[in-house]
């Protein structure tokens, strides 16, 4: 049994329209903030209602030479996008084996409260060759708080 070419072309067009509609629907749902992970445990034999898996996302931004600014974002659980706490610190990359790593907390926030910038002294900024003004500026230019 042979199918006419017009029928095959119609079927191909229908598949293309369906695929396009699916991509658009997924994009709209993602943009709305809906999280598919919230319903996944209900269908999973391995998901347990009494388990909460928290996780932290790290964002690293190069500053200069061997210095980076890292922002940590701790979420309440793996099922929601609720942020519990965030912190940002300056870190000196280790260049040689055995070299000590230096880090300095620049700012932090908890429970979506305003960001609190740390108090900087010339002593705690000396290993990074920064001034208090430059360190405070890094909070707005390099920290990636959400």
Look at residue 122 in the predicted model and tell me its pLDDT: 86
Confidence (pLDDT) at 13: 82
Per DSSP, what are the bridge partners of residue 69? 61, 90
pLDDT value at position 26?
65
Contact by Cβ (8 Å): 105, 119? no
Distance CA 8, CA 37 (A): 38
Are the C-beta atoms of 133 and 140 separated by less than 8 Å?
no
Q: Which three-class secondary structure state does DSSP give residue 15?
A: helix
Among 79, 71, 83, CA closest to 111: 83
What pLDDT does 36 receive?
54
What pLDDT score was predicted for residue 3? 63
Angle at 64 between CA 101 and CA 144, to 5 degrees: 85
Residue 103's nearest CA partner among 114, 94, 113 is 94
Task: With beta carbons less than 8 A apart as the criterion, state whether 110 and 125 touch.
Answer: no
Domain chopping of the chain, boundaries: 1-34, 55-141
Q: Is the entire prediction scored with pTM above 0.75?
A: no
- pLDDT number for residue 63: 92
CB of 65 within 8 A of CB of 95? no
Up-side HSE of residue 124: CA atoms within 13 Å toward CB? 13
Average pLDDT per 10 consecutive residues for the chain, totaling 146 residues: 71 76 67 58 52 81 90 84 91 77 91 90 88 92 93
pLDDT of residue 17: 82
């Amino acid at each position: 049994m042979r199918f006419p070419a017009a029928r095959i072309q119609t079927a191909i067009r229908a598949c293309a329209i369906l695929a396009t509609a699916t991509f658009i629907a997924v994009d709209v749902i993602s943009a709305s903030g809906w999280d598919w992970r919230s319903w996944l445990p209900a269908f999973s034999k391995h998901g347990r209602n009494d388990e909460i898996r928290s996780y932290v996302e790290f964002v690293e931004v190069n500053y200069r030479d061997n210095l980076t600014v890292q922002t940590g974002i701790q979420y309440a659980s793996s099922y929601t996008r609720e942020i519990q706490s965030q912190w940002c610190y300056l870190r000196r990359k280790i260049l040689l084996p055995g070299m000590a790593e230096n880090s300095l907390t620049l700012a932090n926030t908890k429970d979506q409260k305003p960001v609190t910038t740390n108090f900087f002294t010339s002593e705690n900024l000396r290993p990074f060759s920064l001034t208090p003004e430059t360190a405070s500026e890094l909070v707005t230019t390099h920290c990636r708080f959400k």
